[in-house]
Amino acid sequence: MAELETDIRYIKGVGEAKAKALSKLGIHTLRELVSYFPRAYDDRSVFKRIDELIVGENACVAAVVASPPRLSRVRKGLDITRFRAVDETGSISITFFNQSYIKDSFKVGETYVFYGRVVGKIGQPEFTNPVFEKEGANQTTGRIMPVYHLTAGVSQNFIAKAVAQGLLECGDVLPDPLPPVVRSERKFAQARYAYNNIHFPKDFEALELSRRRFIFEELCVLSCAMALLKSRRVVKHGKALKKCDIDEFYASLPFELTGAQKRSIDEALGDMYKPVPMSRLVQGDVGSGKTVVAAACCFAAVRSGGQAAFMAPTEILAEQHFKTLTALLEPFGMRITLLTGGLKAKEKREAYAAIESGETDIIVGTHALISGGVVYKDLTLVVADEQHRFGVQQRAALGQKGDSPHILVMSATPIPRTLALIIYGEMDVSVIDELPPGRQPIDTYAVGEDMRARIYAFMRKQVEAGRQVYVVCPMVEENEEYDENLKSVKEYAEKLQNAVFPDLKIALLHGRMKPNEKEAVMTAFSAGEIDVLVATTVIEVGVDVPNASLMVVENADRFGLSQLHQLRGRIGRGEHKSYCVLFEGSGGSVSRERLKVMCETNDGFKISEADLRLRGPGDFFGKRQHGLPELKVANFATDMTVLKDAKDAADEVIMRDPSLSSPDNAGLRSYIDAMIEKSADILN
């Protein structure tokens, strides 16, 4: 019996070369091999007669070889082996390409089972390169077969055999992190049964029982891991702020805060007044007023004698936050400094000196805030805006610039609450679930190319009424990604200026421009000097132009719903009725279903749920930035009910045994330790 950490090179039938190929799939040990679950299944358990075959379907057929296999060499590099097989209802032509050895694998008069996609014509079915074996073998036919993700040098057949051998060598020692009490309460299958039937199910009922267990197991382990991380955070000692008169800050505002904003501020200040570092997420829809919440926390940090650092993902957004915080906090004598990569060397040196000496109270910037040259005098609070755009390591690096500072992260990507509790399990979550008065819903329309002339006319009408227009494209240059239907920002801006609106002021904005160029364009647009701004998603976050009342998104099928919602949030910020037009592109029916959601609701939470359902968390949060280890079986979009049950079970386990030190939780603890170590860059 092999140990679970045994190198797969030593598993019978694998060896050095195949082990190297398997490593590309993340399989290095016996544990990883048996935990490499199928992505789908082929039902080869149902046999059909030849006269029942339908062209285009996959099917299993038991048939007798009726003619000797004949090998033909069509040309160099192409040979064909053909023969005919029959059953009592008809005959089928079997063809193999470039497999000359196949000729000697069949004997006339013997029965074989073939599995593959039926091609040919009605009444004249054919198989091309089918899976086959002798009748009764039941190794690759006559059963439900797993389908795995592959890589070069690895076939389905090889992985299936390797997994079967791995399960055999494991004996009874299989990964099982579920505590016995959780397993028995929910009547889950034993680990041996679950592993056997997730890979090689005896029937679909056994497969479902196994999947149910693994879905729950993954989500429960993840919930426990997050809870454990949270408990570790609470052990740290932090600096408790002196209480300040927050009403003084409220009284200075030229507007009334919503109840949700005040609640979020109270929750954050409650954390900051404790000698434990705050770790709080403020989650709110586009335009819900998260920046004012952050400003209130900065106010409290500075009044307590400390410094606050406010990190934004882009220079444009950093500059906007700088202006907002200056307007809100400078009247209290608080000194605010902007620190971005675009500053000149002399300006940077001056900023560094002011930060280190304590001459400045609040530092707003991009990742420049964590550069080696920055030394803070007394960093008390860290604010990270649009947190999913930063790696956790970046936030941690900023946190290390101080002595366990309080951390507040903000996200305008609404996440279903149950999912938020898992993802941000190590954080406390505040939700701003109401918009400030005066924010109007934005009328949204998904249209095809046949509407282009009308949309251009509507754009002109908006400009003539004194409004401004955003046009968003997914690309910068024509050659960036080959698709003749995609709108390139540069080409499209030229076309609009030269052929469509020669009398209007049209400008271009994209991420590859120099910081001072971007700033000049945005300043001009904010000042009303530009009628139509053609841009990439660089304007997705933070740009605030109340006079912009129309957004046109080209190739909208190329964006996620949550991203489209972010983009749409750039308009409707003033007193004017606003509109968003989504050109459908060539995304097909799934794209139309997604865009329909955008037209039906302005509710970011409903949109995020649809985005999860239709695209999954990887795309939803951006590539590997959602702070989650990859799930093998569970799906955040479809398994939300199980997610809640798993979270409840995890809470019970942690409540009974906060450090997971009891013998019953040993398997769970070692599983979590391995997971945290493997995902250290995104979980710690």
Contact between residue 675 and residue 425 where contact means Cβ atoms under 8 Å apart: no
How does DSSP classify residue 47?
Answer: B
pLDDT at 436: 76
Tally of domains in the chain: 5
pTM over 0.75: no
Contact between residue 218 and residue 633 where contact means Cβ atoms under 8 Å apart: yes
Element (DSSP H or E) covering residue 423: helix 417-423
Contact between residue 495 and residue 506 where contact means Cβ atoms under 8 Å apart: no
Q: Are residues 119 and 186 in the same domain?
A: no
Q: What is the CATH number of the domain that holds 541?
A: 3.40.50.300
22 belongs to a structural domain: yes
Domain boundary among 142, 177, 195: 142
Residues 233-264: b if buried by 16+ CB within 10 A, e if exposed:
beeeebbebeebebeebbeeeeeebbebbbbb
pLDDT at 671: 82
pLDDT at 91: 94
517 belongs to a structural domain: yes
340 belongs to a structural domain: yes
150 belongs to a structural domain: no
Element (DSSP H or E) covering residue 64: strand 58-65
pLDDT at 414: 67
pLDDT at 673: 80
Distance between CA atoms of 537 and 548, rounded to whole angstroms? 16
pLDDT at 420: 65
Paired tokens of 44:
């080869």
Cβ count near 602 (within 10 Å):
22
Task: Name the H helices within 171-289.
Answer: 180-185, 191-199, 204-235, 246-252, 259-272
479 belongs to a structural domain: yes
Q: What is the CATH number of the domain that holds 131?
A: 2.40.50.140
pLDDT at 419: 65
- For residue 531, give every residue at least 6 positions away whose Cβ sits within 8 Å of its Cβ, in sequence order, or none: 463, 468, 469, 501, 504, 505, 506
Q: Are residues 196 and 131 in the same domain?
A: no
pLDDT at 681: 43
Q: Are residues 295 and 314 in the same domain?
A: yes
Distance between CA atoms of 48 and 45, rounded to whole angstroms? 10
Q: Are residues 559 and 635 in the same domain?
A: no
Domain hosting 644: range is 215-235+630-683
Contact between residue 574 and residue 440 where contact means Cβ atoms under 8 Å apart: no
Q: Are residues 392 and 487 in the same domain?
A: no
426 belongs to a structural domain: no
Q: Are residues 535 and 646 in the same domain?
A: no
Distance between CA atoms of 596 and 567, rounded to whole angstroms? 16
Q: Are residues 325 and 387 in the same domain?
A: yes
Provide the pairing of β-strand 362-365 with 336-339: parallel
Q: Are residues 399 and 510 in the same domain?
A: no
Ranges of the chain whose pLDDT falls below 50: 388-389, 478-484, 617-627, 680-684
Domain boundary among 142, 165, 184: 142
Q: Are residues 316 and 197 in the same domain?
A: no
Q: Are residues 455 and 581 in the same domain?
A: yes
Q: Are residues 350 and 251 in the same domain?
A: yes
Q: Are residues 312 and 451 in the same domain?
A: no
Distance between CA atoms of 96 and 167, rounded to whole angstroms? 33
